[in-house]
Amino acid sequence: MHPAQRQNQKLSLIQYWKESGLIHSQKLIEAFMQIQRELFIDDFLMDQAYADHPLPIGEGQTISQPTTIMLMIQLLEVESHHTILEVGAGSGYNAALLSLLGSKVITIERHHKVAKQAEYNLRENGCSNVTVVIGDGKLGLSNQSPFDRIIVTAAASEVPKHLKKQLGIQGQMVLPVGPPHACQMMCLKKVNSTHYKSTSHGLFSFVPLV
């Protein structure tokens, strides 16, 4: 596929989001325009870079469909001064988008090979405010908390308690909760040290958080 055709696919997605009202954050749409999704997937899948469905990235992991990624990040309501923790780096694409919205992004990936690929992809795309950490995302990173925003890109059976603790006061966490093929997208806001407010935003499918 010619690069111009990929660009047209990209613009068609944006038009769909705007007309449907799904994505209304102009900052987020600008980040989507700036980051080249085709550079975060395997070459043989490049023609599907802007198809609105998940794609495999190795080790049994996927890069989520563009609409799902955009909805999650929009729910996160990132501001320019925020420090963001991402659980599940994948190919690094989500972190690249977040890097244009917040001040600092730390992304955790449990698969060593996937983490190294994400690190390479982010470096190649000039995302200098992103750090990739290899580890168990469910545990978060207590030594760097609290975080203004936390995003989890795999289906959790319940909200991980370590991540709740590491969310700053008035911070927000977006994550899918429930069985992998019918998980509820949740947005959790930390009102104070003991009280959280949650809202749900529809059913999705994700790889499980392990």
Q: Which two tokens stand for residue 195?
A: 């009280």
From the list 12, 25, 64, 128, the catalytic residue is 64
First to last CA, the chain: 36
Task: Return the number of other C-beta atoms located less than 10 Å from residue 132's C-beta.
Answer: 24
Per the CB < 8 A criterion, the answer to whether 25 and 74 are in contact is yes
Give me the helix-helix angle, 3-20 and 66-76, nearest 10°. Answer: 50
Residue 203 neighbours by CB under 8 Å, 6+ apart:
182, 183, 184, 185
Is 142 among the residues known to form the active site? Answer: no
Active-site amino acid positions: 64
